[in-house]
């Protein structure tokens, strides 16, 4: 949510709004046709594509190649990954990748949202792929959190934890915490299956289902009725707190009880 708030007052805000409006129109079209992908290039001007190509050549081409065909063993081809993949990878700061590790990590984005949109427009122009979702598609208020709970725990909770707190994968990889992730990025991640994550295309979890999942995750913003969450990572954290805080406080009091009064 904070990330959203930051973007709202960004100097690029008008551009983003216009683009979003255009995206809504495209989104409606996409919803009517059951096709899982819409060409984001339809919402972007030729100028965007040109700008995006420049940005790409300067920032991405060293790994992905000048024509975005990828480099074997270094970076995948980006032809057909769609605008959604670019918006997710660059918008969450995972790309450009700075250091090689088990997986690309989210960090502060290096580009403004309109630059990201230009990049996305360029990549989308290379081959049809999933588009950036519309504001309506990702609006948690329109989703059903209970339906989202069922979908989330069947498809997502095994990696991201029961309410999206995150979890470990093999060999140092991990499924990130989702509490600070924007609804758009959540949607895009499902659609494109970044890195280790499987793809949940619109035939697997339909766009309404994805929005339900977003609604479920955003329902977690209210916090836990029981008080502090202790990370929502389950009984290990509870056990630690039981020993360190509850037993710790009580043993401290036994020391006081056992000590002689002055």
Residues 85 to 104: which contact other proteins by CB under 8 A?
102
What are the DSSP calls for 237-256, one per residue? HHHHHIIIIIIHHHHHHHHH
Phi, psi of 69 (to 5 degrees): -85, -5
Q: Which of 1, 47, 158, 180 binds other proteins (CB under 8 A)?
A: 158
| Displacement of CA 28 from its chain's centroid (Å) | 22
| x/- map, 236-255, other proteins, by CB under 8 A | xxxxxxxx-xxx-xxx-xxx
For residue 143, count other CB atoms closer than 10 A to its CB: 24
Q: Which of 4, 13, 57, 146 binds other proteins (CB under 8 A)?
A: 146
Piece in contact with other proteins (CB under 8 A), picked from 8-16, 21-29, 46-54, 191-199 = 191-199
Residue nearer to other proteins on the CB measure, 62 or 154: 154
Near other proteins in 105-144, by CB under 8 A: 144
| x/- map, 210-239, other proteins, by CB under 8 A | ------x--x--xxxxxxxxx-xxxxxxxx
What tokens appear for 143 in the block? 């989703």
Piece in contact with other proteins (CB under 8 A), picked from 8-16, 24-32, 77-85, 151-159 = 151-159
149-153 long-range contacts (CB < 8 A, ≥24 apart) are 149/216, 151/205, 151/209, 151/212, 151/213, 151/216, 152/213, 152/216, 152/217
DSSP E strands in 91-151: the ranges are none
Residue nearer to other proteins on the CB measure, 25 or 251: 251
CB of 115 to other proteins, least distance (A): 27
What tokens appear for 51 in the block? 């700008």
Near other proteins in 40-79, by CB under 8 A: none
Residue nearer to other proteins on the CB measure, 135 or 233: 233
Helix (H) or strand (E) holding 47: helix 46-59
Residue nearer to other proteins on the CB measure, 14 or 198: 198
Piece in contact with other proteins (CB under 8 A), picked from 53-61, 79-87, 120-128, 152-160 = 152-160
Q: How many residues are recorded in the chain? A: 262
Does 167 participate in binding other proteins (rule CB under 8 A)?
yes
- Cα-Cα-Cα-Cα torsion 139, 140, 145, 150, nearest 10 degrees, comes to 60
Residue nearer to other proteins on the CB measure, 50 or 196: 196
Q: Phi-psi category of 103—alpha, beta or left, where left has phi over 0 and alpha has psi -120 to 50?
A: beta
């Amino acid at each position: 949510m904070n990330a959203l708030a930051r973007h709202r007052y960004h100097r690029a805000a008008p551009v983003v709004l216009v683009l979003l409006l255009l995206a809504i129109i495209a989104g409606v079209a996409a919803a009517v046709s059951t096709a899982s992908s819409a060409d984001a290039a339809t919402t972007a001007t030729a100028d965007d594509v040109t700008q995006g190509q420049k940005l790409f050549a300067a920032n991405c081409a060293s790994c992905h190649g000048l024509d975005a065909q990828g480099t074997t063993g270094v970076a995948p081809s980006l032809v057909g990954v769609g605008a959604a993949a670019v918006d997710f990878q660059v918008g969450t700061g995972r790309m450009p990748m700075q250091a090689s590790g088990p997986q690309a990590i989210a960090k502060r984005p290096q580009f403004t949202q309109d630059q990201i949109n230009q990049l996305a427009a360029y990549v989308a122009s290379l081959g049809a792929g999933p588009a950036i979702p519309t504001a309506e598609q990702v609006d948690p208020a329109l989703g059903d959190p209970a339906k989202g709970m069922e979908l989330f725990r069947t498809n997502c909770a095994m990696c991201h934890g029961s309410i999206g707190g995150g979890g470990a994968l093999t060999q140092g990889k991990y499924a990130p915490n989702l509490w600070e992730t924007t609804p758009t990025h959540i949607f895009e991640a499902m659609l494109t299956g970044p890195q280790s994550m499987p793809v949940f295309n619109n035939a697997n979890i339909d766009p309404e289902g994805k929005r339900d999942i977003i609604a479920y995750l955003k329902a977690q913003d209210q916090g836990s009725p029981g008080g502090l969450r202790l990370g929502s990572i389950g009984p290990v954290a509870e056990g630690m707190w039981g020993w360190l805080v509850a037993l710790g406080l009580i043993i401290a009091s036994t020391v006081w009880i056992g000590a002689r009064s002055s």
